[in-house]
Structure 1
Amino acid sequence: MTKPVDPLDIDFRALQVLIWVHQFRSFTRAAEELGVNQSAVSYTINKLREVFQDPLFVRQSRRLHVTQRCEDIVQQAKRLTVEFRQLTAPPEFDPKTAAQKFVIACNFYERVLIIPDIVKTLTREAPNLELEIIDASGIGHERLMRNEADLLIGPFERSDPQFYRRDLYRDRYVCLLDPAHPMADEPLSLEDYLGLDHVLVTYGGQWRSRYLIELERLGRELKVVLRVPSPAGLEQLVRGSNLVATVPERLSKAVSAGLRTIACPVETSVTIGLVWTAVNHRSPVHMWVRDMIYRLNSRTRTLEDAQAG
C-alpha cells in the first residue's frame, strides 16, 4: 500500500509550481518559467494532487481546466509565498537599494493627479524600484486580494476587515461650462443645476460619484443628455456647447482648458485614499511607498490650504 504524502513535505517551491501552472494553464509554460523540465512540474502536481486529494487540473478539449478546490488553494498559496518572502526580507529598508516591482491599481483621476509625483519621487529616492500601474476598473479590491496589485488608490469606501485604509484628502465637486454658456458667470443654485444639460461620467458603470448619491438621497436627478465612461476629453465635449460636466475640483484643473469652473451646488465631496491588505501591511517596501504617497499629498494639502488662506 502506498504511503500517503505528508502535507509537511510540501515546500514553497511546490506551491510556486502550482501557482505558475494555474496562471499559464500549461505545464510546459510553467516549466519554462521555473527553468525546469516538464516532468519535474508533472511530478510536483501529482504530489500536490495526493496531498489535497483533488485533481487540481483537468484536461478537456485540449485545454487545461482548473477545479474550484485548486482556485481556493492557489489564492492561499499566493498569500503564503508573499508572507514568507516578507519574513526573509531584511528588517532595515533602504529605498536607494530596493529592487523589486510595485504594482498600483487606480483610475484616470489618480493617474493624472497622483501618479506623476509618485514617479518623480521614486526616480529620485528609489531608482531601482520598478513601478507598474494597472486599471482598478471597479475591481480594485479584488485585484488586491488576488495579489495582482500591492496598493489601491482612489475613492473606495468598502470597509471589509481584510482591508486597511488611509485617507489622503477630500475633494469637492465643481461644474465645467463653456465661457459662452448662459450660466457661466453666475453661482448655480440647485434648481439651476438640475435644469442644465449634463454630460455624465459613468466610470464604465463601476463607480457612482458621490454627488449622484446625494442627489438620489434628495429625490432629485440630473437631466443627462450624454454619458461618457471617463473624464478624459471632457474639455472637448463641453467647449462650444451648452453641456455642463461635474468633476472633482482637483481633476478639473487637468480637464478644464478653456472652460469656466463654478462650484457645484450639491454639497458633498469625494475622499481619495490608500487601500491595502494584511499581506503587505508590515512589508518594509510597502510601508515606505505608502508613507511616501501620504507625505506627497500632505505637502499638496498644506500648499492648497495656504493658497486658500
Structure 2
Amino acid sequence: MPPPPPNPASIDFAALNLLRVVHELGSFTAAAEKLNVNQSAVSYTIAKLRACFQDPLFVREGGRQVATERCEDILARSLQMLGMLDEMLQPDAFEPGQATQNVTIACNYYERMLMIPGIVSAIRRHAPGMTVKVISSLGDGHLRLLRREADVLIGPFARAESGFHSRRLYSEEYACLMDAAHPLAGARLDADTYLSLNHVLIDYGAGWQSAYLRELEAAGHRLLPTITTPSPAGLGTLISGSDLVATIPRRLGEGNFEDLRVTDCPFPGAFDVSLVWAAHTNASAMHRWLRDLIWTACRG
C-alpha cells in the first residue's frame, strides 16, 4: 500500500517561493544559487511538493526544468498568496534618502530613450542609495510583474484584469519619419500616397502589432514594407539620405532624430502609455513612492 501524500499543511511559503524560483530560472542548480541553499535542499523541497500535489511539476526538456500544466496552475494560485504575504510584511513608511533597495523597471526602446533618463535622474536625486535595473518587457512584461522580476512596467500595456493596476501617463500617436530632402517631407499624406511609399517596418515580434497597423488593416489596407527591422535602433542612419519612411511614435521621432523630418501619418493609431504594477506591490510604501516619482518624472 503506497504511503499517504504529505499533509498540505506542511507546505510553507518558503516552499512555494522555491517553486517560483525554479520555474523562473528553469534549473534546480540556479535556484539553489539564487536562494543561497544547497541543491539537495531544492531537490528535497520539490520532491515534497511533487508528492503533495501528485504531479511531477517539472520535466527536463532541452537542458531546462519545464513546468507542467499542473505546476503552472499551482504557481498562479500561490503567487496570489505570496503577494498577500508581501503586503502584510511591508512597512508603513519609506524613507528614500535612507533606502538601498534595487528597483527593476520593465520597458522597451521607446521608454528607454524617452523616459528612463528622467526617471533614473529623479531616483538618484531623491534616493541616492538605491540602484536601478532596466529589463525588456515586450511579450512577457506582465508575467515579469507577477514573477517579481520587475517592480513596474511602462509602456502601451494597460491591463484591466484582476492582479494588476495601471495609471495612464499620457497619450501618444504614430507619425512618419523621413529625410528632410524627401519630396513629401512636411506634406499632408493621404492613405494612397502613404501606402505607396518605401516603408521601413519595425516588427517588434512576440505577437505585438503597432496600433497604426491595426488601424490601417481595419480600414482594409495592407502595408508592404521595403525593409523590416526588429527595433527603431539605428533608424536615423538607415533613413538619412534615402527615400525610406518609417512610422514610429511621434515623441520618439521628434525627440531623437533632429536631422530627419516628422510628418503626420494618415493612420495615427493613438494609444496610451501607462504605468502598470502587480497587486502584490499596491500597498507597499516603497512602491507607492516609486510610482509617484515615475508619474512626476514622466509628466513634468
Structure 1 and Structure 2 fold alike (TM over 0.5): yes
Q: How many Å apart are 1:252 and its aligned residue?
A: 0.5
CA distance in 2, matches of 1:67, 1:49: 11
The residue aligned with 1:283 is 284
Q: How many Å apart are 1:157 and its aligned residue?
A: 4.9
CA distance in 1, matches of 2:61, 2:194: 58
Gaps of 5+ in 1: 300-309
Native 8 Å contact 2:100 2:131 kept in 1: yes
> Larger relative contact order (C-alpha < 8 A, sep ≥ 6)?
2
Native 8 Å contact 1:205 1:229 kept in 2: no
Q: How many Å apart are 1:204 and its aligned residue?
A: 2.5
Give percent identity, aligned residues only. 47
CA distance in 2, matches of 1:78, 1:150: 15
Deviation string, structure 1 residues 140-163 (Cα, Å, up to 9, x no partner): 223223332222111125533333
CA RMSD of aligned residues (A): 2.9
Aligned residues: 299
**Bigger shift: residues 203-212 or 89-98:** 203-212
**Bigger shift: residues 104-113 or 171-180:** 171-180
Deviation string, structure 1 residues 198-254 (Cα, Å, up to 9, x no partner): 111122363222222222222233342111111111111111111111111110034
The residue aligned with 2:84 is 83
Q: How many Å apart are 1:47 and its aligned residue?
A: 3.5
CA distance in 2, matches of 1:165, 1:61: 37
Q: How many Å apart are 1:73 and its aligned residue?
A: 2.6
Native 8 Å contact 1:231 1:255 kept in 2: no
CA distance in 2, matches of 1:265, 1:34: 53
Q: How many Å apart are 1:6 and its aligned residue?
A: 3.4
**1:66-215 equivalence runs, <5 A:** 66-204=67-205, 206-215=207-216
Gaps of 5+ in 2: none
Match of 1:214, SS state, is helix
Native 8 Å contact 1:232 1:255 kept in 2: no
CA distance in 2, matches of 1:148, 1:122: 19
CA distance in 2, matches of 1:150, 1:26: 23
Q: How many Å apart are 1:62 and its aligned residue?
A: 9.1
Match of 1:170, SS state, is strand
Native 8 Å contact 1:204 1:230 kept in 2: no
Native 8 Å contact 2:158 2:275 kept in 1: no
What TM-score do the two structures reach when normalised by structure 1?
A: 0.83
Question: Which is greater in Rg?
Answer: 1
CA distance in 2, matches of 1:59, 1:140: 25
CA distance in 2, matches of 1:25, 1:242: 47
